[in-house]
Amino acid sequence: MNSILEIENLEKNYYTKQGEIKAIDNISLKIKEGEIITIVGTSGCGKSSLLGILANIEDKTNGKIKYQKDKPTIGYMLQNDALFPWLTIFDNAILGLKIAKKDTSENKEYVKKLLKTYNLEEFINKYPNELSGGMRQRVALIRTLALKPDILLLDEPFSALDYQSRLAVSADVFKIIKRENITTILVSHDVGEAVSLSNKVVVLSKRPCKIKKIYDIDLPYDNPIDNRNTKEFNELYNKIWKDLDVYVN
């Protein structure tokens, strides 16, 4: 199998006092190594639950999740950078290693190298509040990359940023992901982000979420910002927007 991850008939139900809520309904998906996939869906459709299950911090109700490796390392980035304000940039970057008890001198050197490669070397002993939003996201990504993940899960990691920074920071982060060649699943409700950043876009229906359509994306440029100005981008954007079936009451 050349899929790094296979999701088969995944289901997720939530049980509340008001009743049972089906969040994910029979999702099957194969993800190939090195692919960058974006899952789009309207707010509250169950996208984040899907990532939570893949990250092993939420239980599934039914279905199978098969990783190529027996014990894959999973990197998870959430809605904001979640840097710890009381830790230095370096200590933030090695937090995952510390928790996983993998903070060997070799791995720490690797983190230092990553910080250096991505222009954060001079901020190693600074604190998060001394960095710009973009830099903080880069640190959050390095914190995840430090564990050398087999697969990277991004749960709307740019949603806390304003539109301008969002474009710049997402382009920056994806440049790093492509360079490090990591299989990535991004969850977003931003169609533009999905089309400009990924190889494949999976459109989910409203709750309970099912796969509505899958688009293969092949845009001409490496830089997502350049891709936004192409004809192909606009066509795909409009198609996916229609699929999402968003309307305002």
Binding interface with other proteins (CB under 8 A): 52, 55-57, 74-76, 78-80, 82, 84-86, 95-96, 98-100, 127, 147
Nearer to other proteins, 131 or 195 (CB): 131
Q: How far is the CB of 155 from other proteins (least distance, A)?
A: 9
Inter-residue contact 27 to 50 (CB < 8 Å): yes
Query: What is the side-by-side strand order in the sheet with 74-77?
Result: 74-77, 151-155, 183-188, 36-40, 200-204, 211-216
Torsion, Cα 16 20 24 26, to 10 degrees, reads 150
For other proteins, give the closer residue by CB, 12 or 228: 12
DSSP single-letter state for residue 209: B
Burial-class residue 218 by CB neighbours within 10 Å (0-12, 13-18, 19+): exposed
Locus of tokens 């599934």: 60
| Shortest distance in whole angstroms from residue 100 CB to other proteins | 6
State the minimum distance, in angstroms, from the CB of residue 228 to other proteins: 28
Q: What is the DSSP pairing of strand 3-16 with strand 62-67? A: antiparallel
At closest approach, how far in Å is the CB of 160 from other proteins? 10
The neighbour count for residue 172, using CB atoms within 10 Å, is: 17
Nearer to other proteins, 96 or 208 (CB): 96
Q: In angstroms, what is the minimal distance from the CB of 96 to other proteins? A: 5
Nearest of 53, 69, 51 to residue 61 by alpha carbon: 53
Q: Are strands 151-155 and 183-188 parallel, antiparallel or unpaired?
A: parallel
Residue 48 or 227 having the CB closest to other proteins: 48
Q: Which is nearer to other proteins, 126 or 239 (CB)?
A: 126
Question: Cβ closer to other proteins: 6 or 58?
Answer: 58
In the complex, what is the shortest distance from the CB of residue 141 to other proteins, in angstroms, rounded to a whole number?
A: 13
